[in-house]
């Protein structure tokens, strides 16, 4: 199977789309434009949706992306914007009928595939970065699936923790994104072991996730069921927390 690749950049959204048929590219751009339009329109009427670090209640008749982000924020006990990248990826994949599609939005991935997919990990200056990846089996990802990361040492997102990478696996990439933020925020402590333990304790509080992989320096912590870990020896650039291949 051949993958076709296109980068969609609209304001803060910097999304890499890989898909089995390039005829979907135009539709994908339209979907991203609409999602951003709906979200920006709602924020104009409710600025706290953008600013809050706590969950936000929304009305019943809000756009789909607003409802999804609000739900993810409540599940992870964070502000709704913590899930924006994952939510855009999720709704893009949901609204494209291709059998094989990967949407990676700043390291937050939603995918659906009839083939196994390997997702390589980028974890900043950690020696683990670029050395391992996660093998997602086709049986697990034949329906929408999310793999999202948050980092205290890489990227421009606000983080209150110390982890080089927190990767969350879930059936919703919006939930995975919000959960990764919450868990990364909890990765604080007097030493690396305490940072990892605090992150994993936070992970225990969040429902609707399959597994969590935490990296602080050269140590890792794992909760739940994560995909098979494999050695990749593949260089991954700073611009993408994950490389999909």
pLDDT band at 2 (very low <50, low <70, confident <90, very high): confident
Lowest-confidence region among 28-42, 56-70, 104-118, 166-180: 104-118
CATH code, domain with 153: 3.10.520.10
Whether the predicted pLDDT of 140 surpasses 50: yes
Whether the predicted pLDDT of 122 surpasses 90: no
Give the whole-angstrom CA distance, residue 200 versus residue 222: 7
pLDDT above 70 covers what percent of the chain?
91
The confidence score (pLDDT) of residue 220 equals 94
The rounded mean pLDDT for the chain is: 91
The confidence score (pLDDT) of residue 89 equals 98
* Contact between residue 216 and residue 153 where contact means Cβ atoms under 8 Å apart: no
The confidence score (pLDDT) of residue 230 equals 86
Lowest-confidence region among 2-11, 111-120, 152-161: 152-161
Per-residue 3-state assignment (H helix, E strand, C coil) for the chain = CCCEEEEEEECCEEEEEEECCHHHHHHHHHHHHHHHHHHHHHHHHCCHHHHCCCCCCCCCCCCHHHHHHHHHHHHHCCCHHHHHHHHHHHHHHHCCCCCCEEEEECCEEEEECCCCEEEEECCCCCCCCCCEEEEECHHHHCCCEEEEEECCCCCCCCCCCCCCEEEEEECCHHHHHHHHHHHHHCCCCCCHHHHHHHHHHHHHCCCCCCEEEEEECCEEEEEECCCEEEECCCCCCCCCCEEEC
* Contact between residue 95 and residue 31 where contact means Cβ atoms under 8 Å apart: yes
| pLDDT (mean) for 72-77 | 98
- Domain range for 228 is 4-244
The confidence score (pLDDT) of residue 37 equals 98
pTM for this structure? 0.92
Whether the predicted pLDDT of 241 surpasses 50: no
Whether the predicted pLDDT of 153 surpasses 90: no
* Total number of domains in the chain: 1
| pLDDT (mean) for 5-9 | 95
The model's pLDDT over 185-214, given as tens digits with 9 standing for 90+, comes to 999 999 999 999 999 999 999 999 999 999
Lowest-confidence region among 37-41, 131-135, 216-220, 238-242: 238-242
């Amino acid at each position: 199977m051949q993958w076709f690749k296109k980068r969609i950049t609209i304001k803060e959204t910097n999304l890499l789309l890989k898909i089995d048929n390039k005829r979907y590219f135009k539709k994908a751009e339209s979907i991203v434009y609409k999602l951003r339009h709906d979200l920006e329109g709602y924020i104009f009427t409710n600025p706290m949706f953008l600013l809050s670090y706590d969950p936000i209640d929304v009305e019943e008749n809000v756009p789909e992306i607003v409802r999804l982000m609000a739900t993810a924020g409540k599940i992870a006990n964070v502000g709704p914007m913590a899930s924006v990248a994952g939510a855009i990826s999720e709704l893009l994949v949901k609204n494209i009928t291709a059998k094989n599609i990967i949407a990676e939005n700043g390291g937050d991935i939603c995918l659906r595939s009839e083939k196994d997919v390997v997702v390589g990990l980028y974890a900043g200056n950690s020696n683990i970065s670029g050395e391992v990846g996660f093998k997602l089996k086709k049986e697990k990802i034949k329906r929408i699936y999310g793999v999202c990361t948050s980092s205290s040492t890489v990227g421009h997102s606000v983080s209150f923790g110390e982890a080089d990478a927190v990767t969350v696996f879930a059936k919703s990439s919006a939930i995975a994104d919000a959960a990764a933020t919450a868990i990364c925020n909890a990765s604080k402590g007097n030493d690396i072991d305490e940072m990892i333990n605090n992150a994993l304790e936070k992970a225990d509080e969040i429902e609707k996730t399959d597994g969590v992989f935490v990296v602080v320096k050269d140590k890792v912590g794992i909760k739940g069921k994560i995909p098979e870990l494999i050695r990749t020896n593949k260089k991954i650039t700073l611009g993408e927390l994950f490389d999909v291949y």
